[in-house]
Amino acid sequence: MILAVLFANSVGNVLIERFNGVPAEERLHWRSFLVKLGAENLKGVKNEELLVACHKSVYIVYTMLGDVSIFLVGKDEYDELALAETMFIITAAVKDVCGKPPTERVFLDKYGRICLCLDEIVWNGLLENTDKDRIKRLIRMSFLDSLFYQIFNYLLLLLFDQTRINFL
């Protein structure tokens, strides 16, 4: 089970958090633990370099992406290796949405899409989608649809114009 996915900004404020199967009273403890872990270890770390820790019986994989730090907490089958895989997908998807490793502002600008990405990747503590391109397709439906729609309209117009010209 992926117990937590947490995004925080450079000063440790939480941007997105998803807990699965964690009692509400333990969340605060974990939130502050993760933020502290990030503050202690993420300074000067290269983009997307994965750091790993274990605390009690759970594993934590965390990294820095632009101005945003990302933490994954898992237990049992979601050990450090499975979490690293999940992190790889999350960072790729976020970069895709933001076009580059995001600043805090870009991240907040694309907040809705990032939530959708996360929803595609981790659902209720289980890893679901791992294909970056498929995730991209799934969350950009509106854009693609409108693109197809525009192209379709343009072709119709061309056809109509051609018919009119021929008619004339």
Partner 1 sequence: MAQPLVKKDDDHDDELDYSPFMGIEKGAVLQEARVFNDPQVDPRRCSQVITKLLYLLNQGESFTKVEATEVFFSVTKLFQSKDTGLRRMVYLIIKELSPSSDEVIIVTSSLMKDMNSKIDMYRANAIRVLCRIIDGSLLTQIERYLKQAIVDKNPVVSSAALVSGLHLLKSNPEIVKRWSNEVQEGIQSRSSLVQFHALALLQQIRQNDRLAVSKLVVSLTRGSVRSPLAQCLLIRYTSQVIRDMSNHGQSGERPFYEFLESCLRHKAEMVILEAARAITELDGVTSRELTPAITVLQLFLSSPRPVLRFAAVRTLNKVAMTHPMAVTNCNIDMESLISDQNRSIATLAITTLLKTGNESSVERLMKQITNFMSDIADEFKIVVVEAIRSLCVKFPLKYRSLMTFLSNILREEGGFEYKRAIVDSIVTIIRDIPDAKESGLLHLCEFIEDCEFTYLSAQILHFLGIEGPNTSDPSKYIRYIYNRVHLENATVRAAAVCTLAKFGFMVESLKPRIIVLLKRCIYDSDDEVRDRATLFLSVLGGDGTVDADKDSKDFLFGSLEVPLVNMETSLKNYEPSEEAFDINSVPKEVKSQPLAEKKAQGKKPTGLGAPQAAPASGIDGYEKLLSSIPEFAAFGKLFKSSSPVELTEAETEYAVNVVKHIFDSHVVFQYNCTNTIPEQLLERVNVIVDASEAEEFSEAASKALNSLPYDSSGQAFVAFEKPAGVPAVGKFSNTLTFVVKEVDPNTGEAEDDGVEDEYQLEDLEVVSADYMVKVVVSNFRNAWESMDEENEHVDEYGLGQRESLGEAVKAVIDLLGMQPCEGTETIPSNARSHTCLLSGVYIGNVKVLVRAQFGMDSSKDIAMKLTARADDLSVAEAIHEIVGSG
Give the Cβ contact number of residue 142 at 10 Å: 8
C-alpha–C-alpha distance, residues 66 and 92, integer Å: 12
DSSP-derived secondary structure letter, 45: P
- Reduced to 3 states (helix: H, G, I; strand: E, B; else coil), residue 129 is coil
Q: Mark residues 87-126: x for contact with partner 1 by CB under 8 A, - for none.
A: ----------------xxx--xx-xx--xx--x---xx-x
Residues 10-69 that bind partner 1 (CB under 8 A): 11, 13-18, 21-23, 26, 28-31, 40-41, 49-58, 61
What is the nearest approach in angstroms of partner 1 to the Cβ of residue 156?
19
Give the Cβ contact number of residue 101 at 10 Å: 17
C-alpha–C-alpha distance, residues 122 and 72, integer Å: 11
- Sites of contact with partner 1 (CB under 8 A): 1, 3-4, 9, 11, 13-18, 21-23, 26, 28-31, 40-41, 49-58, 61, 73, 75, 77, 79-82, 84-85, 103-105, 108-109, 111-112, 115-116, 119, 123-124, 126-131, 134, 138-139, 141-143, 145
